[in-house]
Amino acid sequence: MEDFKPFFTNPFASPIDAIPLLSEDLFWDKVILAVNEEQFRVLSLFSASLKQTWQIWIVLGNDATGLIKVGRFRVVDNAYTSRTELLSCIHLFEREIYEQSGILPRNHPWLKPVRSPHQSACSQMDFYSIEGEDIHEVAVGPVHAGIIEPGHFRFQCYGEKVGHLEISLGYQHRGVEKALLGMPKANHLKQVEALCGDSTTAHSTCYAQNMEALTGIKISEKEALIRAILLELERIANHVGDIGALSGDVAFLTTASYCGKLRGNILNLTAQITGNRFGRGGICIGGTRYDIDYALAQTLKTQLKALQPKIMGAIELFFRSPSVLDRLEKTGIIPQEWVMAYGFTGLVAKASNCLRDVRTSYPYGSYIDRDLKTSLEKSGDVFARAKVRKEEILICFELVQTLLKELEMIAHVQIQKQQNTALPAEYFSFSMSEGWRGGVAHTIITDDKGDIQRYKVVDPSFFNWTALSLAMRDGQISDFPLCNKSFNLSYCGFDL
C-alpha cells in the first residue's frame, strides 16, 4: 500500500517523484493515524502548484524517534473536506491554504483570513462575539502604546474576566514566501534573515541547510560550531530580554533595568563575531561568513564568564520575590493536553511538560551526538514559561562554553565558503532549526528548471498565537500583557 515517505535526517532533500502521491482520503487517514496514534505532529502543511495542478503537502515529525514523514495529494475541483474538526492542530494551516491558493476546505468551522483580510475571498470576517447584556468588547491595537509590532486583539469580557480573545494579525504581511521564488539570489538570504528579526540565526540556518541539502554541500565541523554558537547566543539574549520584560510588566524595577542592559551585552558578543548585534550576515550558504579564531574564542569565553553571574543574579532576584511569584503563578495556564491537541511548540510546549526541541529530536549540524540538557516545567503557566527561560539561559551558558572549547581545538582550520547555488530540478527539501521560541521549519520545492517553485516557512509563532488566545480564557483582562509577554510571539514571523 502507498504510504508517506520516511526520512531520518534533518535537513534532507529528495526528488519529488520519490514522494508518493496519495488519494485525498488515504492521505488524511494516514495523517490522522500518525498524529493520533503514532505520536507524530504536523511540522508543515501547505499547498503547492506543480505542473499546473494543486497539491497539498504535509510534513510530519515524531519527536521521540526523530523520524520525519512526507506525503502529498492532488486537489480535485479546487476543494477538499476540512479535517480541522478531527485534527485541531491544522486549523490555521487550512485557513492559510485557502488564503494562499483558493483551495476550499469544505466545512471548516472558522474560515477566516490568516493574514490579509482585504485581499482574500474568505466568507467569515466577523470577530467571534459573546451575546449578553453584561458582556463588553475591548479592542486593542493594531497601534499599541509601546514600541511593538502591530496586531489586533479583540476581547469579549464579563467585567474583568475574559470570555474569549480573538487575535487578528497580518498587518506586517509582506510576501516573503513569494519573494523567495525563482532563481536563488544573493538577496534571498537577507530576506530570510529579516523573516523574524530576533530569530535571524535560526531562520538563516534553516535556509542555508536547505540550500546545502539541495546542492549537496557539506559544511565543515568548524562552521557547524560557529552556527551553533551564534544560535545559542541568540537564545541567551532573547531569554534575558524576555525575563527583563516580564519583570517590567509586573513593575518589578530592578530586574527589568538590569536585564535590559545585560541583553545588550550578549548582543554585543554576537556583534563581535558577525559585526551585527542580531547576527545578520553571519550565516551563508555553505558555512558561515565570519571565522572565530583562537583569540576571539578566548575573548568570548572570558566575557561570557563575566556576564553569567550578573545575569543569573538579576534573574535570581526576580524569582526570589514573593510579590513577583504571586503574579506569575497560575496565570495563563496551558495544560499539556492543549499542547498535544493544537501542536504548540518550543518554549510553550516545554513549559507544559512536553519536550519539543529540534536540537534533541531532529539534531543537525553541531547538535548531532551531543548530550544536550533540556529544561521542562509542569505547570504551564507564566511562571513555567519564565522558569524554562531561566533554566535554558544556564544550559546555554554551559553549552556555549563547551562549543567554544571545541572550537579552540580546531581554531587553525580556515573556513571555506562553498558557493554552488544551481539547484537540482524537481526536488523537495526540508530543514529545521531550533530558534529561541521553538522549531523553525523551511521547505523548498523546485520546478523542472531548478528554480524555486514553492518556499514555505513555518515559524513557531504560527502555532503558538493560538496558545495565547486560549491561555486568556477565564483569565483576568489585566493579566493579558503579562501573559502575552510570557509567550512573546513574533508578529512578523507569523505575518511573513
Partner 1 sequence: MNIFWQYALIFAVFIALSLLNMGIITKVKAFFGGRKGAPVLQKLYDIIKLWQKDITLSTTTSWIFFAGPFLSVLVPLIAFAMVPFGSVHALISFEGDFILFLYLFALLRFFTVASALDTGSSFEGMGGAREITFSVLIEPILFVCFIILAKISNSLALENLFGIHSFTSWTHDSTVLTIVVFSLFVVMLAENSRVPFDDPNTHLELTMVHEVMVLDHSGPLLGLITLGSALKLTLFALLISHLLLPLHTDIFWLDLVLSAFVSMGVVACVGICESLIARLRIVAIKNILLGTFVIALFGIIMITRQSL
Tell me the closest approach of the beta carbon of residue 445 to partner 1, in angstroms. Answer: 43
User: Does residue 67 bind partner 1 (CB under 8 A)?
Assistant: no
User: Does residue 252 bind partner 1 (CB under 8 A)?
Assistant: yes
- With CB under 8 A as the contact rule, the residue among 1, 121, 131, 146 that binds partner 1 is 146
From residue 96 to residue 135, what is the string marking binding to partner 1 with x (rule CB under 8 A)? ----------------------------------------
Tell me the Ramachandran region of residue 430: left when phi exceeds 0, alpha when psi lies from -120 to 50, beta otherwise.
Answer: beta
User: Does residue 140 bind partner 1 (CB under 8 A)?
Assistant: yes
User: Does residue 136 bind partner 1 (CB under 8 A)?
Assistant: yes
User: Does residue 1 bind partner 1 (CB under 8 A)?
Assistant: no
From residue 320 to residue 349, what is the string marking binding to partner 1 with x (rule CB under 8 A)? -x-xx-xx---x------------------
Q: CA neighbours within 13 Å on the CB side: how many for 249?
A: 22
Considering the complex, state which of residue 123 and residue 323 has its C-beta at the smaller distance from partner 1. 323
User: Does residue 240 bind partner 1 (CB under 8 A)?
Assistant: no
Tell me the closest approach of the beta carbon of residue 245 to partner 1, in angstroms. Answer: 11
Question: Residues 259, 312: contact at Cβ < 8 Å?
Answer: no
Tell me the closest approach of the beta carbon of residue 130 to partner 1, in angstroms. Answer: 15
Give the strand pairing for 21-22 and 68-74. parallel
Q: Rounded distance, CA 496 to CA 490, Å?
A: 10
User: Does residue 492 bind partner 1 (CB under 8 A)?
Assistant: no
Part of the chain binding partner 1 (CB under 8 A), chosen from 51-59, 169-177, 246-254, 379-387: 246-254
Angle, vertex CA 338, rays to CA 166 and CA 83, nearest 5:
75
From residue 253 to residue 282, what is the string marking binding to partner 1 with x (rule CB under 8 A)? xx-xxx--x---------------------
Considering the complex, state which of residue 200 and residue 247 has its C-beta at the smaller distance from partner 1. 247
Enumerate long-range contacts of 455-458, CB under 8 Å, 24 or more apart.
Answer: 455/177, 455/180, 455/181, 456/44, 456/46, 456/48, 456/177, 457/176, 457/177, 457/195, 457/203, 457/496, 458/43, 458/44
Measured N-to-C along each axis, helices 253-274 and 221-249 cross at an angle, to the nearest 10 degrees, of 160
Tell me the closest approach of the beta carbon of residue 470 to partner 1, in angstroms. Answer: 18
Q: Binders of partner 1 among 419-438, rule CB under 8 A?
A: none
From residue 189 to residue 228, what is the string marking binding to partner 1 with x (rule CB under 8 A)? ----------------------------------------
User: Does residue 477 bind partner 1 (CB under 8 A)?
Assistant: yes
- With CB under 8 A as the contact rule, the residue among 18, 32, 139, 186 that binds partner 1 is 139
Residues contacting partner 1: total by CB under 8 A: 33
Dihedral over Cα of 106, 108, 109, 113: its sign: negative
Determine the length of the chain. 496
User: Does residue 414 bind partner 1 (CB under 8 A)?
Assistant: no
How far the first Cα of the chain sits from its last, in Å, is: 38
Q: Residues in the site for partner 1, rule: CB under 8 A?
A: 136-140, 145-146, 159-160, 247, 249-254, 256-258, 261, 321, 323-324, 326-327, 331, 476-482
